[in-house]
Amino acid sequence: MSPALLLLLPLLSVVVIFFGTKWSGTLSALVSVASVAGSLGVTLALFSTDSSMVAMNWIALGDVLQVDIGLRWDRLARGMMFVVTLVGTLVHVFSLAYMREDEAKARYFGCLSLFMFSMTGIVLADNLVMMFIFWELVGVSSYLLIGHWFTKASAADAAKKAFITNRIGDFGFLIGILMLFGLTGTVSFTGLENWLAGGHAGASAGLLTAAALCLFCGAVGKSAQAPLHVWLPDAMEGPTPVSALIHAATMVAAGVFMLVRVGFLIEASETAGLVIAWVGGFTALLAALMATQQDDIKKILAYSTLSQLGYMVMVVGLGSGEAAMFHLYTHAFFKALLFLGAGAIIYACHHEQNIWKMGGLKTRMPITFAAFGIGTLALIAFPFTSGFFSKEAILDIALHENKLLFLIAAGVAFLTAFYMSRLLVVTFLGAPRSEHAGHAKEVSVIMFVPLLILAFLSVVAGYKPVAELLQAQLPDVHWNWFVFFVSLATMLAGAGLGFLRYLDKRSEPKVIPVLANKFYFDEAYGWAVRNLQDGLAWVVRGLDALFIDGLAVGGITRLTEGVGCLFRRVITGNLQAYSYLFGVGVFVLIYFTVFLR
């Protein structure tokens, strides 16, 4: 069995759905579920193998340029592939129930398969151009899924915003690829690694840093780091299972995965590492602050995702790709769990997303409550859940590498516990605050089984034997009592404060405008797009019409129009058009008779 199957299965599903079964939503859903379950099976079957292969020469131009669709199946790829296919399978199954009544079910499942195909390509890529290819393809699948309900203006706008914001990051990513290709003549990871190991001939330290940071721009877009984070909260316009799979567990983590793949480049430049670490730390803090004042259950989780991605990016910058991947792996389970849990709640409350219109769901949806509670514990790093182990590793590394970032990371841990306990208390405890919440019922078995599987993993995934078994990356850190106490204290303080403050409240006790308005990023960007980009575009268009078209060219046109009038007198009537033919014919004749004889 070959890893190429992992690419073929979802591709086949896309083709079958779009060319064959698109008339039947149910059939398409089954095709899609079968393909993702098949991918999970293949991943498990290939767990003990290690291989690399060239599936296809995409571009072969002699020995000048070689770009392969090449697959690299190593531990990093196996661990990531397991996360992607497992969460993918559960989300597909959950969607069967969640999207049961959707009119465009075939399109939905077709797009999910397209996403699985693209994501698999990123994980297996053995060179930068191939990664970029699939990077763009996940962007388009994300665009399609965010905009699934495209007649809704907000969904259509969110999809557009996500794609364009990602392209801004890709601008840097592509330039980074170009620089590295120009320096080395290759785009393959192995080739680049060898070149670096051999003393990176031809590249100054500055250029190396520039290249690494350019690649990082791609991760800033895809993993929604500040200042390009604005698309992810809006992306919650998509169906909730999509949010769980793409905008929490897998695609947004692709940026982190890419940084770990090119970790050898980041290690080569101290400056690049520092910049990356600070961008990550800053994003973690910024997003956690914004999460404390949101009212939409999915938005709170989205900001939490941003914040956790910030942790991962920070620790990549601090030099530990293993810790980043370990947190990516535990986060995928508990965040997918939280999103699917939120999906179950939203489904049960008839598409209500405002937490202040929920309440009292603990007794009405006990299974969802238990699962959601476990996810929350893992996210706030309650001791001996999976999130606890991965966050300990991050804090430990931050403590050794950069004290200031350690403080920020600890502050983020406090904020995380605070906003998650707020979410839990307001949603599940107290009395129902709306009719829908009062009538909510536990969801069907097809929806809560995925929750329970993810809840189980959220508890056990952090233990070393389990992580070893599941091919996760394990950071090389040792137990540190200081880190343990800091983590425990911030968690208890945050959660305690959250409980006390929000228990039995009917609305937000104190609105902090700057946080509730997300530091006005959207307003500022909206202003810039309207006034700078569109304003500039408008001015340029005016200048173009006035000067380039009006004077320079218009002058010549008017001159010739005079000549045209002469023709018009010769050939009267509405046969004017024939004068064009005549005019050009004359030109041609004159050219060839006068100049050439």
561 binds another protein (CB under 8 A): yes
64 binds another protein (CB under 8 A): yes
Q: How far is the CB of 303 from another protein (least distance, A)?
A: 25
- With respect to another protein, which residue has the nearer C-beta, 153 or 509? 153
Q: Are 262 and 189 in contact (CB under 8 A)?
A: yes
**Is the bond preceding residue 227 a cis peptide, omega within 30 degrees?**
yes
- With respect to another protein, which residue has the nearer C-beta, 176 or 494? 176
Q: How far is the CB of 555 from another protein (least distance, A)?
A: 11
Choose, by CB under 8 A, the member of 1, 45, 185, 571 that binds another protein: 185
- With respect to another protein, which residue has the nearer C-beta, 128 or 405? 128
- Compose the 524-553 pattern: x for residues touching another protein by CB under 8 A, - for all others: ---------xx-xxx-xx--xx--xx--xx
557 binds another protein (CB under 8 A): yes
CA angle 357, 515, 436 (to 5 degrees): 5
34 binds another protein (CB under 8 A): no
Torsion from C-alpha of 342, 345, 349, 353, nearest 10 degrees: -20
Longest dimension (CA), the chain: 100
Sequence letter at residue 71: L
Distance CA 551, CA 564 (A): 19
588 binds another protein (CB under 8 A): yes
583 binds another protein (CB under 8 A): yes
| Subset of residues 93 to 132 that bind another protein, contact rule: CB under 8 A | 129, 132
Q: How far is the CB of 182 from another protein (least distance, A)?
A: 3
| Subset of residues 196 to 235 that bind another protein, contact rule: CB under 8 A | 202-204, 207
Residues binding another protein: what is the number (CB under 8 A)? Answer: 74
- With respect to another protein, which residue has the nearer C-beta, 468 or 534? 534
Q: Secondary structure of 408-461 in the HEC alphabet?
A: HHHHHHHHHHHHHHHHHHHHHCCCCCCHHHHCCCCCCHHHHHHHHHHHHHHHHC
- With respect to another protein, which residue has the nearer C-beta, 84 or 174? 174
- With respect to another protein, which residue has the nearer C-beta, 373 or 583? 583
| Subset of residues 65 to 94 that bind another protein, contact rule: CB under 8 A | 65
The DSSP secondary-structure symbol of 439 reads: T
Distance CA 222, CA 496 (A): 34
20 binds another protein (CB under 8 A): no
How many residues in total does the chain contain? 597
- With respect to another protein, which residue has the nearer C-beta, 435 or 561? 561
564 binds another protein (CB under 8 A): yes
Residue partners of 412: CB distance under 8 A and separation at least 6? 284, 285, 288, 307, 310, 311
Residue partners of 551: CB distance under 8 A and separation at least 6? none
- With respect to another protein, which residue has the nearer C-beta, 513 or 577? 577
Paired tokens of 370: 């238990």
Residue partners of 456: CB distance under 8 A and separation at least 6? none
| Subset of residues 361 to 400 that bind another protein, contact rule: CB under 8 A | none
- With respect to another protein, which residue has the nearer C-beta, 514 or 539? 539
| Subset of residues 125 to 184 that bind another protein, contact rule: CB under 8 A | 129, 132-134, 136-137, 140, 143, 147, 150-153, 156-157, 160, 163-164, 167-168, 170-171, 174-175, 178-179, 181-183
Q: Secondary structure of 17-56 in the HEC alphabet?
A: HHHHHCCCHHHHHHHHHHHHHHHHHHHHHCCCCCEEEEEE
Q: Per CB under 8 A, which region of 313-321, 474-482, 504-512, 579-587 contacts another protein? A: 579-587
Choose, by CB under 8 A, the member of 1, 45, 54, 59 that binds another protein: 59
Half-sphere exposure of 127 (CA within 13 A, CB side): 24
Name 193's bridge partners.
none
Q: How far is the CB of 529 from another protein (least distance, A)?
A: 9
580 binds another protein (CB under 8 A): yes
Sequence letter at residue 461: A
Residue partners of 385: CB distance under 8 A and separation at least 6? 334, 374, 377, 378, 458, 459, 462
